[in-house]
Amino acid sequence: MDRNRDRKGLRWRRTAGAASEVLLWWLALTGLWLVLITTVDALETAVGAACALLAAVAARAARRAARG
């Protein structure tokens, strides 16, 4: 019983760590996008946020691949 609880706790920490890493990448990349564009409107923000999310997931995958 304790072993299953430990596994669930470890899985939760790993998932939370991955989510927080992607969130931090997304915030940084979205912020960079908003700084670099000339006109901030809803469509530009939505496109930038979507592209930043894809790049954040790719950055996490690349970091994990490089770590081995």
The string of pLDDT tens digits covering residues 31-51 is: 999 999 988 899 999 999 999
Number of domains in the chain: 1
Does position 8 have pLDDT exceeding 90, yes or no?
no
Structural domain for 42, as ranges: 2-67
Indicate the average pLDDT of the chain: 90
Quote the pLDDT of residue 2: 64
Compute the distance between CA of residue 28 and CA of residue 59 in angstroms, rounded to an integer. 12
Quote the pLDDT of residue 1: 55
The answer to whether the CB of 45 falls within 8 A of the CB of 34 is yes
- Quote the pTM value: 0.80
Does position 65 have pLDDT exceeding 70, yes or no?
yes
Q: What is the mean pLDDT of residues 8-36?
A: 92
